[in-house]
Structure 1
Amino acid sequence: MRRALAVLMAASTLIAGTATAAQATGKGSRYVKVGYFTQWGIYGRAFPVKKLDTSGAAGKLTHVNYAFGNVSPDGRCYVDGGPGEGDPWADYQRPVPAEESVDGVADTWGEPLNGNFGQLQKLKAKYPHLKVLISLGGWSWSTYFSDAALTDASRKAFVSSCIDLYLKGNLPNPDGSAGGPGSLAGVFDGIDLDWEWPGSAGDVDTVYRPEDKRNFTALVTEFRRQLDALGRQSRKHYQLTAFLPASPATIDAGYEVREVMRKLDFATVQGYDFHGTWEATANQQSALRVPAGSPDNPDFSIENTINAWLQRGAPRSKLVVGIPYYGRGWTGVTGGRNGLFGTSTGAAPATYEAGYEDYKVLKTLPDAGFTVHRDLRAGTAWLYDGTTFWTYDDPKVVLRKTAYIRAQGLAGAMVWSLDGDDDNATLTRTISFGLR
């Protein structure tokens, strides 16, 4: 084991080197490598679609999931909600300047497809292997999923609206500029369901019911039926995936596992947010295995999460491990093991949200007085300066996780989210190297 870990760690230094032709195109590997691109990343994080090209990430991924599509109060997919309910400007209306454009050509006002969607279209032209899925819901926009899935009629109407909007591409065209019938056709290759969570509480206003469990199965079945019907017309397979929780209680409350998995191409499993600043203890948020001395028993880990899904009938070949491109942090931390399991006074200061910081920032902290600590068996790392503690995934941890994916015969890796990586796509390159 010690020799194997040493080989893994040494290999991580080669990641930035020249890739083979198969790796450069994302071909030649049976593993899926999924990255979430956030709608809002173009703002504060200054992460346009073009960075997927210039960083090298696009060539290392098999899928890009666009986060997110919203569900309306009347159970439809829509992009034209008010403030906080949608951002059609970012999605498809904003004329992207030449310096942010994948092909170096600026958008002009009045084109049918501008914004992020137009750039994804250009990215796919450059990387034909890349599949792009629209991810529906997320933590904030799962509010009305339960209502949309409630009856046979509501499910049919919901699924039809999503296909019409995102796959047939019939975007709204309220001002006569971007959008219009068929304007988005061909950009999205399928749908990712990110309902958080069927049968369990999610965000503060999210509706949930006990019958969500059977209704989620029925909803997945209806998506598969309508996607296949569209595929017969267009001679294409439209992919259907889902984001799944880590908690066994949440799994049991919301998922008929065997039935759901039969309809999905694959499922991405939450491999992060195991702990965070909603707790006073500084703890791991994404460990491969539970670290020795953990104060929680049982505790969350990737291994425990994958085992929970396997025990309930999920096939290994469809489970994709989620990996975070961000860390969770506490300050005022005392005690514990070099800060791990210490007691905190609150969330650590950060760029956008206290207690949450991108990998590209965390990687610079060793130059600011932080020490990197590792638990190789547990597959986790953290930073500690005697006061502030950050749990995060660096290339060595990510490589360790890809070794686990290979050893367990799992389907691949998913990342949240691509804008947390550095300008060289170091973490994405690491995943590609580990799952080549």
Structure 2
Amino acid sequence: MRRSVRRGLLAGAVVAALAATAVPAVSAMAAGSIAATFTASSDWGTGHEVAVKVVNGSDAAVANWSITFTLPASTSISSSWDADVTRSGNTYTAVKKSWAGSLAPGASVTWGYVGTGAFAAPTACTINGVSCGGGTTPPTTAPPTTVPPTTTPPTTPPPTTPPPNPGGKKVVGYFAEWGVYDRQYHVKNIDTSGSAAKLTHILYAFGNTTGGRCSVGETFPAYEKSYTADQSVNGQADTWDQPLRGSFNQLRQLKAKYPHLKVIYSFGGWTWSGGFTQAAQNPAAFAESCYNVVEDPRWADVFDGIDIDWEYPNACGLTCDSSGPNAYKNVIAALRAKFGPSALITSAITADGSNGGKIDATDYAGAINNLNWLMPMTYDYFGAFNAQGPTAPHSPLTAYNGIPTAGFNSDAAIQKLKAKGIPADKLLLGVGFYGRGWTGVTQAAPGGSATGPAPGKYEPGIDDYKVLKNSCPATGTVGGTAYAYCGGNWWSYDTPATMTGKMTYAKQQGLGGAFFWELSGDTTNGELITAVKNGLN
């Protein structure tokens, strides 16, 4: 199960991937001309990021622009955004995106790229056949010479953390689209908490599947929300004419700062899984629609693949599906055929390890060759959705005496999936950065009766670890996880200590790593993700 998607919550993003260490732009034009200025925003030795500002200094709108420039053999462009970039030898041509409008007199637009190797200034630069005129600005830690009074000066980013061992365990975290609303959790928080350096992959949740087609969940938080300088990853404010804003653009900035990070667009979830039933009737059409969303030219560089969170194929979640045991593997096969061999295709699945339960309802093993990995959601087993209890930990690692339902624990799910032939290194262990709780409880030990869900900050019966660690500290452990009893409320959640124990289990089982729901539940200094990362080392 998955915490329900609350519509009207998120928004996260930032500016087009530009300067993390901004500098004053050198005058880039003669009067009455169009010109371009290259600004190196960061340089970490093995790579660098550059923002290219195009300015229309004429008194007429410019419908199209094209920039041609040469880079030395020691560097090359590895990714770009907000311009179509082609290469011939060491010479590159950047052309205005087809969807971008004309450049009004006095207006500007910025596109950018990430290059390999140390920064080196481009040469022989022309725009629309004339000299670019503005040259380049090397990276610097000096602040801008002038800062508009309403603008927060960009700050110098810390040195980029070296990427995790590529052969090591995966650390995968969900970023909830709606978190930018009430929670005020933005992509920048992934950076400032230290989480970005510990993650290997981010799952952006969720895209919609209504009508058996993929679509963006909410356009405002995804790519329309404008960010101020202090809210953005790179320290620069979005502009009114910026083609891409929102969380998608913020993720672009985060990837530029942490080149090891991969981002996967997750579709479905508890609320939007109903569309998978229709998708299963025409998997090829579904895959085509998903590809068009994930690889939309406006943000194709942001996403490295797609995640399918179908709750649940040939079983019941918020809605029931009766597509048959082969529907899931057919959908996954169609996605692989469309996205190709290099894209990441992953899936969050049921963790019901009971006999004849949801794992047994679908041929997950038949899909595994087309998946990079599976993520059994080994949390939300128990909670105040059963208002009277009995109280039980929502994410037990193992069974224990008195557990309400046999097979409702992480180990049971992992063993069942392995027994079906799914390789251990293609399974990730699921953990929660939140707790579930009841009120009206009279006993501290698990198994007590209750009168309903305990109060939560955003919804009854659920709250973040960062809140619970202080409001109701853990008083015991059971089944490899923690529980807490305070003031008639009974909560279960993982602590850094129990999280470490779960990671030890993951290593002992030979699993591919761990994933968690979701980033905003952790402390501002990333206590839980630190325990996950260190526990998997």
Report TM bin, short chain: 0.7 to 0.9
Q: Post-superposition, which runs of at least 4 consecutive aligned residues in structure 1 deviate over 6 A?
A: none
Is 1:118 paired with 2:221?
Answer: no
Equivalent position amino acid for 2:321 in 1: Y
Shift of 1:244: 1.1
- What is the CA RMSD across the aligned residues, in angstroms? 1.7
Shift of 1:111: 1.4
Q: 1:29 to 1:341 in 2, by over 3 A?
A: farther
Q: Which structure is higher in helix share?
A: 1
Taking only the aligned residue pairs, the percentage that are identical comes to 39
Equivalent position amino acid for 1:27 in 2: N
Shift of 1:72: 2.7
Shift of 1:29: 5.0
1:109-156 per-residue CA deviation (whole Å, 9 max, x = no partner) reads: 231210000000000000111110000100001111110111xxx211
2:385 to 265, 273, 278: 278
SS at match of 2:271: coil
Shift of 1:299: 4.2
Counterparts of 1:274 and 1:76, CA distance in 2? 29
Is 1:188 paired with 2:303?
Answer: yes
SS at match of 1:405: helix
2:330 to 218, 226, 230: 218
Q: Which structure is higher in strand share?
A: 2
Q: 1:386 to 1:24 in 2, by over 3 A?
A: farther
Equivalent position amino acid for 2:375 in 1: T
Q: Whose radius of gyration is greater, 1 or 2?
A: 2
- Where does residue 453 of structure 2 map in the other structure? 347
How many residues end up aligned between the 2 structures?
374
2:290 to 148, 159, 162: 162
Counterparts of 2:164 and 2:323, CA distance in 1? 41
Is 1:307 paired with 2:420?
Answer: no
Q: Is the CA contact 1:351–1:357 (under 8 Å) kept in the aligned structure 2?
A: yes
Shift of 1:287: 1.1
TM-score when scaled to structure 1? 0.83
Q: Is the CA contact 2:346–2:371 (under 8 Å) kept in the aligned structure 1?
A: yes
- Where does residue 247 of structure 1 map in the other structure? 352
Counterparts of 2:525 and 2:405, CA distance in 1? 39
1:397-428 per-residue CA deviation (whole Å, 9 max, x = no partner) reads: 10000000001100100000111101001111
Shift of 1:386: 5.1
Q: 1:24 to 1:301 in 2, by over 3 A?
A: farther
Shift of 1:23: 7.8
Is 1:142 paired with 2:273?
Answer: yes
SS at match of 1:139: helix
2:181 to 36, 43, 48: 43
Counterparts of 1:141 and 1:263, CA distance in 2? 23
Equivalent position amino acid for 1:42 in 2: V
SS at match of 2:514: strand
Is 1:373 paired with 2:476?
Answer: yes
Is 1:208 paired with 2:321?
Answer: yes
- Where does residue 103 of structure 1 map in the other structure? 234
Shift of 1:365: 2.2
2:223 to 68, 87, 92: 92
Q: Is the CA contact 2:436–2:492 (under 8 Å) kept in the aligned structure 1?
A: yes
Counterparts of 1:102 and 1:35, CA distance in 2? 18
1:90-110 per-residue CA deviation (whole Å, 9 max, x = no partner) reads: 000111111110001111123
Residue segments in structure 2 that go unaligned for 5+ positions in a row: 1-158
Shift of 1:190: 0.3
TM-score when scaled to structure 2? 0.68
- Where does residue 260 of structure 2 map in the other structure? 129
Counterparts of 1:293 and 1:155, CA distance in 2? 43
- Where does residue 370 of structure 2 map in the other structure? 263
Counterparts of 2:272 and 2:402, CA distance in 1? 37
Residue segments in structure 1 that go unaligned for 5+ positions in a row: 1-20, 80-85, 170-181, 232-236
